[in-house]
Amino acid sequence: MAGRVMWELLVAPFTEFAFMQRALAGALMLSLSACPVGVFLMLRRMSLTGDAMAHAILPGAAAGFLIYGLEIWPMTLGGLVPGAAVAVGAGAVARLTVQHEDASMAAFYLISLSVGVVMVSLRGSSVDLMHVLFGTVLALDDAAIVLIALVLVVTTLAFGLLWRALVAECLDPLFLRSVSGMGTVVHFGFLALVVLNLVAGFQALGTLLAVGLMILPAAAARFWTQSVLAMVALAVAIGAVASASGLLLSYHLSLPSGPSITLSAGAAYLASVVAGPRGLVVPRLPRRRHRAA
């Protein structure tokens, strides 16, 4: 009896409904692609940069929506342009002026977000605006799945090529720049990966929540391990579990799917803050002293 109940709660929604299968496939691929990017964003202390860039893709997505409607490829390609422009523009301002990159990124993303909301509001309804801002993971079609899969392939290849340089830049960026001329290339290449994964994620989770699946599992994994490779693996696992549990919550409780996935990842983060070996409680527990025999 208990097994039957567990099957109906945890497995049946994914075996009986094609839209749940597509949603799970898309969310799992996003976890494999975006969570490692989130780990390096966190290690580079650029988590808020990811959030800013998630907002920055809105005008391009809005332009694609105004011209073609809710079509995945025009909105995706449109999102790439302002995302790349904000990343390059903020980096250029930080390198050529006295302003730090976080401040210039905030300025660019606020302008971009405002332009995007105005553009969607000109023609679309409040429902269209909610779709763009918060996504509809339960409505992923084959084109969206293909897009997410392509971004996963590109991200995997990029990490294979740039892994050592990315780790070195996280640990000691000045050393990387002193021994190699790859510092700038690695920095902007990594920002390109951030933009790609945010663009892949916005169709499922929206421009406001796409960064949630990128950052929250990575932040949770930080409380359990210090190894970068283990952190990446754990972040992917947390993202996958959060995706599946969020979809189940959305299905059984009739909740919006994107926020449910983000809340599940947030619950994993809060649990890690409390119970992780590097969290609030465990390091403060009294340790037994072993007496010498």
pLDDT classification of 132: cutoffs 50, 70, 90: low
Least confident of 10-14, 40-44, 180-184, 214-218: 180-184
User: Band of the pLDDT at 137, cuts 50, 70, 90?
Assistant: confident
Write down the architecture of domain 13-280 according to CATH.
Orthogonal Bundle (1.10)
Say whether pLDDT at 280 is over 50: yes
**Band (61; pLDDT cuts 50, 70, 90):** confident
> Helices 228-253 and 183-221, interaxial angle, to 10°?
60
Cα dihedral: 131, 88, 105, 272 (round 10): 70
Token pair for residue 147? 């897009």
Q: How far apart are CA 142 and CA 148, in angstroms?
A: 10
pLDDT tens profile 204-260: 777 667 788 889 999 999 999 989 999 999 999 999 999 999 999 988 888 888 888
Percentage above 90 pLDDT, the chain: 25
Q: What is the pLDDT of residue 195?
A: 84
Tell me the domain boundaries of the chain: 13-280
For the record, the structure tokens of 36 come out as 């490692």
Give pLDDT tens digits for 112-127.
778 777 777 776 565 5
Q: Residue range 78-82: average pLDDT?
A: 78
- The more confidently predicted of residues 236 and 98 is 236
Measure the CA–CA gap between 184 and 175, rounded to whole angstroms.
13
In this predicted structure, what is the pLDDT of residue 179? 64
Q: What is the pLDDT of residue 19?
A: 86
In this prediction, residue 33 carries a pLDDT of 94
Higher-pLDDT residue of 129, 13 = 13
- What pLDDT was estimated at residue 202? 78
**Residue 280 contacts residue 232 (beta carbons within 8 Å):** no
Query: Mean per-residue pLDDT for 28-44?
Result: 91
Q: Is the pTM of this model over 0.85?
A: no
Highest mean pLDDT pick, 32-41, 114-123, 136-145, 279-288: 32-41
Percent of the chain having pLDDT more than 70?
83
Is the per-residue pLDDT at 285 higher than 70? yes
Measure the CA–CA gap between 87 and 91, rounded to whole angstroms: 6
Quick one: pLDDT band at residue 293, thresholds 50, 70, 90?
very low
